[in-house]
Chain A
């Protein structure tokens, strides 16, 4: 919109009206939530230890998930974007399938593989006495499984866009492929990596279905904020509303702190 007119002649009215409907669609539930929150009543639900514990667990696990997603996801994205390994399309499909699976299905799949009776989980238990389900690492595994594809896809398109000529120039200047990756490719792809990390973190923070299925619900170990919200809905709707509001504020603060420009890099427009 121009500074002179609210209805800029260049903005077609159809686009403007539909855009406003879309904005309302997103804003209305947030406003409604804010209205329904029992502000006047005490903030006990926020102050109580269980909520603080769930909040801490959510923040900690989602951040660890994001770090792990970057460590493993960036190399995977590079392989998908740059290598000519056979069956890349299939591998991409398999590695991002968990993004579109119903989270509960993802949780069941994790149990089938890493659960106590799972294909790998059984070996972990028999040989090392390691049992993943119902532990904090299980929360991270569940989050990583459903959230990492967001990073992989975003970073892959970043790698695909960054110039291979610049990388080749760096090679001719005496840089090894690893040095080129660290000093040329990664810095050039940084906006995509940050955008992917934000998406991954957001998805991990909100993860519910796969977590409660694979990691269960235990205060302090696996009860994340979304699970706490869901269970509060069963017992005390006011508490649920307050915790929901807490999640909204937390997410908003971080999205704003990251300034739209990082998130803007997701679509490729920098």
Chain B
């Protein structure tokens, strides 16, 4: 019985330590899913500040929700200004939000573009099965706004949870076209990318917000993203620079 009491005590002490401060060794970065490739590239580079960082990818909205719920995060990079604004309004952030990269929204189609899709108007054709991101996730909001501005009335067959899911449906041939980020479309050899004609295009700004106090590592990370190494890595993956 005493043994068990000691074990329980030990476990509760360990748990207390754990919840107190987790950023001792690893700096924690939350980033929008579309940044997976770039940040993974950087963290594979031993000289990069991202090497050894704990990276967590999800949709910007759910990342922001986790931060509000108290997740111990040093830096968050969102694909949507809205989430950053919410965080700032809720009192988070130890520096000004900064734009680190730009992206654009494009149409992804099967290689060879068998249905000859060339513009947003084609997406309303009845023979085109279309996948878009769900309203509410940043990509979905951008897509909706873009289509509305261009006065194109579409009937998607599915509203996917994020850009990668839209892309997967195009790659698997379940839909003929998907509205995704340019970087996602460029990451796959299995789709062709149709850019949106000038005037209708939407530009997406990736914003970073430093969350922890006095963490040199977080500052370092931010500086790297804005510096040569970071910007080259972003460009390699198809991002536009601020």
Contact = CB atoms under 8 A, between A and B. Distances in A.
Contacts of A111: 172, 174
Interface stretch (B21-29, B57-65, B213-221, B225-233): B57-65
B99 interface: no
Contacts of A213: 165, 168
A231 B165 CA distance: 13
A234 B59 contact: yes
12 contacts: A115-B172, A116-B173, A133-B157, A134-B158, A134-B174, A213-B168, A217-B159, A218-B157, A218-B159, A219-B159, A231-B137, A234-B61
Given A14-B4, A133-B174, A217-B134, A233 B158 contact: no
B160 interface: yes
Contacts of A233: 61-62, 65
Given A216-B131, A217-B161, A234-B62, 17 more contacts: A13-B1, A14-B4, A117-B173, A133-B174, A212-B161, A213-B168, A215-B158, A216-B160, A217-B134, A217-B160, A218-B159, A219-B159, A223-B159, A231-B137, A233-B61, A234-B59, A234-B61
Given A14-B4, A115-B174, A216-B169, A235 B157 contact: no
Interface of B: 1, 4, 59, 61-62, 65, 129, 131, 134-137, 156-161, 165, 168-169, 172-174
Contacts of B1: 13-14
Contacts of B156: 218
Contacts of A215: 158
Interface centre among B136, B159, B174 (most CB of A within 10 A): B174
B131 to A, nearest CB: 7
Contact of B158 (A17, A112, A218, A237): A218
B161 A230 contact: yes
B157 A134 contact: yes
Contact of B165 (A115, A212, A236, A237): A212
B61 A235 contact: yes
A11 to B, nearest CB: 14
Contact of A234 (B131, B136, B165): B136
Nearest to A135: B157
B55 to A, nearest CB: 20
A234 B158 contact: no
Question: DSSP majority for the B interface?
Answer: mixed
Top 6 closest A-B pairs, CB basis? A216-B158, A235-B136, A117-B173, A234-B61, A134-B157, A234-B136
A222 interface: yes
B137 A234 contact: yes
B158 A222 contact: yes
Nearest to A232: B136
Nearest to B8: A17
A216 B62 contact: no
B157 A117 contact: no
Interface in A212-270: 212-213, 215-219, 222-223, 230-237
B42 to A, nearest CB: 26
Contacts of B165: 212-213
A133 B173 CA distance: 11
B174 A117 contact: yes
A241 B43 CA distance: 35
Nearest to A134: B157
B61 to A, nearest CB: 4
Contacts of A116: 129, 173-174
Interface centre among A14, A222, A231, A237 (most CB of B within 10 A): A231
B134 A234 contact: yes
Contacts of A236: 136
Contacts of A232: 136
Nearest to A215: B158
A212 B165 CA distance: 9
Contacts of A223: 159
A133 B157 CA distance: 9
Contacts of B135: 235
A211 to B, nearest CB: 11
B159 A216 contact: yes
A223 B169 CA distance: 16
A231 B161 contact: yes
B90 to A, nearest CB: 12
B204 to A, nearest CB: 16
A129 to B, nearest CB: 13
A235 B144 CA distance: 15
Contacts of B159: 216-219, 223, 231
Contacts of A234: 59, 61-62, 134, 136-137, 161
A222 B173 CA distance: 19
